[in-house]
Amino acid sequence: MSARDVLPGLMLLGLLALAPLVASNAALNFLLSSLIVALAAQGWNLLGGYAGQLSFGHAAFFGTGAYATAILQLRYGVNAWAGLAIGVALGALVGWAIGFLSFRARLRGSYFALVTLAFAEVLRILANAFDLTGGAAGLLIRMAPGAANLQFPSRATFLWLVLAVVAAVLLLTAWIAGGRLGARLVAVRENEDAARALGVDALRTKLGAIALSGAITAAAGCLYAQNFLYLDANIAYGTWISVEVLIACVLGGSGTVLGPVIGALALHGAGEAAKIALAGIAGPVPGIDLVLFGALLILAVAFLPQGVMGGLRRAARGLAR
Amino acid sequence: MTNPHVLRRALLGAGAGLLAMPAVLRAQPAAVKIGVLQPLTGALAQDGDLGRFGAEQAAAFINAQGGLSALGGAKVELVVADARSNPEAGAQEVEKLQGEGVVAIVGGFASPICLAASQAAARYDLPYVVDVGVADQITSRGLANTFRFAPGFGAVTTAAVDNLIRLNDGAGKPCKTVVLVHEDGLFGTGLARLMATELPKHGFEVLETIPHPTPARDMNNIALRLRSLRPDLLIPSSYYGEFVLLARTMRQQRIRPKGIYAVLNGAASNYRFVKEFPDAALGVMDCNHWQDPKNAEAIALKAAADTAGKFWGYNIPLNYSCVKLVADAVNRAGAADRAKVIQALAASDYSGHIMPYGPTRFVNGQNQGARPVNTQVQDGDIKVIFPAEVANAQPVFPIQG
């Protein structure tokens, strides 16, 4: 890991940490949602970007983290910080279990993607049916502002916490990418059979990637639960989060350290900007951000196959020449 | 060249005008902003649109009556926000409404949106009046800012069972066997469980409980099951699309129980269903929110909705009443001050609404007078058949003698 890999990212996050000085609460709220999606996307990036195992079902991890934090607090009186830690561990466990079942069965590519989607959907239906998860009524975490409860009276404090977690994962990703595990992940992504022939334990590598990916995305779920204090099956295990993390990574540049963060901020930022701009011209246009998501994805796939980060790198190379 | 006399006169006139300005300003006090949070896009957009229409009609009514009397005739200004049919967007819109400086928020429609949005509003001690959301959790959390004007799930289901028994007894107990068909979410499952325990205590036999997912695209299997079970009474608890499909499939297969008794149904109290599928809708009963059909203001509101080309639904009178309730609370508070408005709502005995509730009385945020009514589709219209003091028609029950 070199300073060049992480410095731009840390500088960006540092700048965002100053946002509470100028931004309104509504803007901070928006920034918080974007960063939580960015964190979940960082998790996806490890598995989908570095290890090349495309998942359509990261909601399975997001929801597990979110429900774990909520259920532990509500039903067992566990402290929210401990809930966060257990939620992250459970995310890793669910990741490992899904990985064990599907990688052992040698599922790859679109088959693996469909199986992850199926796991997330099964969890959604179960969460909707059982009393433990509050059924269709969902779970409401009691509002009790206080640092001990992982709830903060001011949005700024929560924003700083999320920024710190995103920064930590950024450093972790850069460290992995620069180390042995990163090399193994890329080897498996590029050609699994060749990697195995060279002595890489592909199953172990992939299981490590999916467990870590699950843990990071579960952390995003925990923070989401603590921020909104309300969960139901469609929020926690709904396809929306699976889709958003995927688009954020593709748009920002999957398999890059900073890509998911840039992608998530760009995606949400563009959606919000379009809503505000169009509302100024033609009155509110419902659903315009969703139209824009689709258009951005098409543009990214057509013109920036390696995302914003890939495009920037290409531009830098062009300038250097 | 300028005539000095003209100039002097103009200056005098302008001076007089300036002197008079404060009086003009006093005559037009700042408008009081009320937030209207509705799902205007997404799966619940139809309901959200009706809710917004009701709120807008109420604001227009209040302003036409001279605005808020205690605030020198200040006008009511609505700030409409789109909850996009999901609780997260609802909570985010609360932040925007807070930024706009609204004195209170009305709406939410779906229980999850109401739960998340009222909690977000609680951070700012911003009064939140729930329009529809029936989940009992909404008012059982002890949030001081949250008020529900309409009845909750517990009150509606208790009334539904009581009214069904009275209806059946009144007609000489024609129905003995029941089949419950319900969607597998919050309302359906909860209701089916309650019915399955309560009805046998009153002499009914529950033949079967049939759940179905939402969305469901085919009801043939359920209809076939009903044909073989031949229940006297069908109790469906589903959303709009699924119930319409079931009713139409039953019609096609000529399955005619002695009664269809819905509770909080998405279709049975919806004029779209009645207008588009009059045969399937005929005779269907529902226990749901409904306006006082004899209230002159409610009749005028319905006429306005018809003119605007809206299918009438309970969202309109509920949001209409909730906005009027908030406006009344601002009047009682004597200022657009949130803490005072919360106090005024908590102590409110408002009776200028158009629901069959009597004077408002909140206990822990729940309006104690709120109650559902029973409706029945008769002659292409939705009539209130129960309770008697509100009813504008007699029940047709059993449907086949």
Residue B149 and residue B361: Cα distance in Å, rounded? Answer: 9
Nearest-5° angle of CA B110, CA B113, CA B117? 140
Question: In this predicted structure, which of A205-209, B28-32, B73-77 has the lowest mean pLDDT?
Answer: B28-32
Give the whole-number percent of chain B exceeding pLDDT 90.
70
Subunit contact B137:A140, Cβ cutoff 8 A: yes
CB atoms within 10 A of CB A151: 18
Residues B197 and B91 placed together within one structural domain of the fold: no
Closest-CA residue of chain B to A135: B186
Give the long-range contacts of residues B64-72, CB within 8 A, separation 24 or more: B68/B32, B68/B327, B68/B330, B68/B331, B69/B331, B70/B330, B70/B331, B70/B332, B70/B333, B70/B334, B71/B29, B71/B32, B71/B330, B71/B331, B71/B334, B71/B335, B71/B336, B72/B26, B72/B27, B72/B29
Over residues B5-9, mean pLDDT: 55
Residues B362 and B334 placed together within one structural domain of the fold: yes
Subunit contact A284:B82, Cβ cutoff 8 A: yes
Q: Is residue B16 part of a domain?
A: no
Over residues A185-209, mean pLDDT: 94
Residues B226 and B279 placed together within one structural domain of the fold: yes
Residues B195 and B206 placed together within one structural domain of the fold: yes
Strands B233-237 and B259-263 turn out to be parallel
Residues B213 and B198 placed together within one structural domain of the fold: yes
| Distance from the A178 Cα atom to the nearest Cα atom in chain B, whole angstroms | 37
List of chain B residues whose C-beta atoms are within 8 Å of the C-beta of residue A26: 92, 95-96, 98-99
Q: Which pTM does this prediction carry?
A: 0.85
Angle between the N-to-C axes of helices A180-190 and A155-178, in degrees from 0 to 180, rounded to the nearest 10: 80
| Distance from the B36 Cα atom to the nearest Cα atom in chain A, whole angstroms | 15
Residues forming beta bridges with residue B180, ordered by sequence position? B209, B235
**pLDDT of A45 higher than 80:** yes
Closest-CA residue of chain B to A240: B86
pLDDT at B23: 47
**pLDDT of B19 higher than 70:** no
Candidates A300, A301, A242, A226; CA nearest to A266 is: A300
Over residues A58-71, mean pLDDT: 97
Residue with the larger pLDDT of the pair B8 and B354:
B354
Q: Is residue B321 part of a domain?
A: yes
Residues forming beta bridges with residue A139, ordered by sequence position? A231
Question: In this predicted structure, which of A116-120, A279-283, B35-39, B45-49 has the lowest mean pLDDT?
Answer: A279-283
Q: Is residue B18 part of a domain?
A: no
Within 75-104 of B, beta carbons closer than 8 Å to A belong to 82, 84, 86-88, 91-92, 95-96, 98-99
CB atoms within 10 A of CB A2: 8
Over residues B155-174, mean pLDDT: 91
Q: Which two tokens stand for residue B279?
A: 């045969």
**pLDDT of B9 higher than 60:** no
Subunit contact A235:B185, Cβ cutoff 8 A: no
List of chain B residues whose C-beta atoms are within 8 Å of the C-beta of residue A232: 87, 112
| Per-residue buried b or exposed e for B104-126, using 16+ beta carbons within 10 Å of the residue's own CB | bbbbbbbbbbbbbbbbbbbbeeb
pLDDT at A209: 96
pLDDT at B28: 74
Closest-CA residue of chain B to A234: B86
Over residues A132-157, mean pLDDT: 87
Residues B366 and B378 placed together within one structural domain of the fold: no
Q: Is residue B22 part of a domain?
A: no
Query: Could you say which of A30, A135, A138 has the minimum Cβ distance to residue B189?
Result: A135
Question: In this predicted structure, which of A73-82, B16-25, B191-200, B381-390 has the lowest mean pLDDT?
Answer: B16-25
Q: Are B266 and B185 in contact (CB under 8 A)?
A: no
Count contacts between A and B (CB, < 8 Å). Answer: 67
**pLDDT of B2 higher than 60:** no
Interface predicted TM-score (ipTM) over 0.95? no
Residue B363 and residue B349: Cα distance in Å, rounded? Answer: 12
Query: Could you say which of B86, B96, B135 has the minimum Cβ distance to residue A26?
Result: B96
Q: Is residue B396 part of a domain?
A: no
Subunit contact B86:A140, Cβ cutoff 8 A: no
Question: In this predicted structure, which of A14-18, A61-65, A103-107, A266-270 has the lowest mean pLDDT?
Answer: A266-270
Subunit contact A230:B119, Cβ cutoff 8 A: yes
| Distance from the A230 Cα atom to the nearest Cα atom in chain B, whole angstroms | 6
List of chain B residues whose C-beta atoms are within 8 Å of the C-beta of residue A25: 95, 98-99
Over residues A252-277, mean pLDDT: 87
Candidates B61, B77, B79, B101; CA nearest to B28 is: B77
- Which class does domain A3-320 fall in? mainly alpha
Number of domains in chain B: 2
| Distance from the B86 Cα atom to the nearest Cα atom in chain A, whole angstroms | 8
> Which amino acid, one-letter code, is at A14?
G
Mutation test of the interface with chain B: which of A140, A158, A231, A244, choosing the one with the most B Cβ atoms within 10 A? A140
| Distance from the A129 Cα atom to the nearest Cα atom in chain B, whole angstroms | 7
Residues B177 and B140 placed together within one structural domain of the fold: no
Subunit contact B112:A230, Cβ cutoff 8 A: yes
> What's the pLDDT band for B217 if we cut at 50, 70, 90?
confident
**pLDDT of A285 higher than 90:** no
Within 9-68 of B, beta carbons closer than 8 Å to A belong to 40-42, 45
| Distance from the A48 Cα atom to the nearest Cα atom in chain B, whole angstroms | 27
Beta strand extents in chain A (DSSP E only): 139-140, 230-231
List of chain B residues whose C-beta atoms are within 8 Å of the C-beta of residue A129: 184
**pLDDT of B337 higher than 80:** yes
Subunit contact B88:A33, Cβ cutoff 8 A: yes
pLDDT at B1: 41
Q: Is residue B44 part of a domain?
A: yes
Residue B31 and residue B121: Cα distance in Å, rounded? Answer: 21
Candidates B88, B220, B237; CA nearest to B156 is: B237
Q: Is residue B15 part of a domain?
A: no
Candidates A56, A45, A53; CA nearest to A189 is: A53
> What's the pLDDT band for A4 if we cut at 50, 70, 90?
confident
| Distance from the A20 Cα atom to the nearest Cα atom in chain B, whole angstroms | 15
Residue with the larger pLDDT of the pair A144 and A305:
A144
Residue with the larger pLDDT of the pair B42 and A71:
A71
Over residues B322-343, mean pLDDT: 96
The structural domains of chain A, with segments of one domain joined by +, span 3-320
Q: Is residue B400 part of a domain?
A: no
Subunit contact B91:A129, Cβ cutoff 8 A: no
> What's the pLDDT band for A286 if we cut at 50, 70, 90?
low
**pLDDT of A283 higher than 70:** no
Residues B317 and B231 placed together within one structural domain of the fold: no
Closest-CA residue of chain B to A30: B92
Q: Are B89 and B21 in contact (CB under 8 A)?
A: no
* Residue A254 DSSP SS3: coil
List of chain A residues whose C-beta atoms are within 8 Å of the C-beta of residue B88: 33, 228, 235
Domain encompassing residue B81: 32-151+293-370
Over residues B370-395, mean pLDDT: 93
Residues B72 and B135 placed together within one structural domain of the fold: yes
CATH of the domain at B205: 3.40.50.2300
Question: In this predicted structure, which of A271-285, B24-38, B244-258 has the lowest mean pLDDT?
Answer: A271-285
Task: Tell me the CA distances in angstroms from A33 to B49, B213, B241, one per residue in order.
Answer: 27, 30, 33
Q: Are A211 and A60 in contact (CB under 8 A)?
A: no
Q: Are B72 and B29 in contact (CB under 8 A)?
A: yes
Subunit contact B87:A287, Cβ cutoff 8 A: no
Residue B333 and residue B330: Cα distance in Å, rounded? Answer: 5
Q: Which two tokens stand for residue A19?
A: 């946002």
Q: Which two tokens stand for residue A66?
A: 């979110």
> Which amino acid, one-letter code, is at A54?
L
Over residues A108-125, mean pLDDT: 94
Task: Give tens-digit pLDDT for B253-297.
Answer: 999 999 999 998 878 888 999 999 999 999 999 999 999 999 999
pLDDT at B266: 75
Q: What is the mean pLDDT of chain A?
A: 90
**pLDDT of B69 higher than 90:** yes
List of chain B residues whose C-beta atoms are within 8 Å of the C-beta of residue A128: 184-185
pLDDT at A309: 85
Is residue B111 less than 8 Å (CB to CB) from chain A?
A: yes
**pLDDT of A37 higher than 50:** yes
Residue B271 and residue B314: Cα distance in Å, rounded? Answer: 10
List of chain A residues whose C-beta atoms are within 8 Å of the C-beta of residue B40: 286
Residues B379 and B365 placed together within one structural domain of the fold: no
**pLDDT of B378 higher than 60:** yes
Query: Could you say which of A135, A230, A286 has the minimum Cβ distance to residue B186?
Result: A135
Q: What is the mean pLDDT of chain B?
A: 89
Query: Could you say which of A137, A229, A286 has the minimum Cβ distance to residue B135?
Result: A137
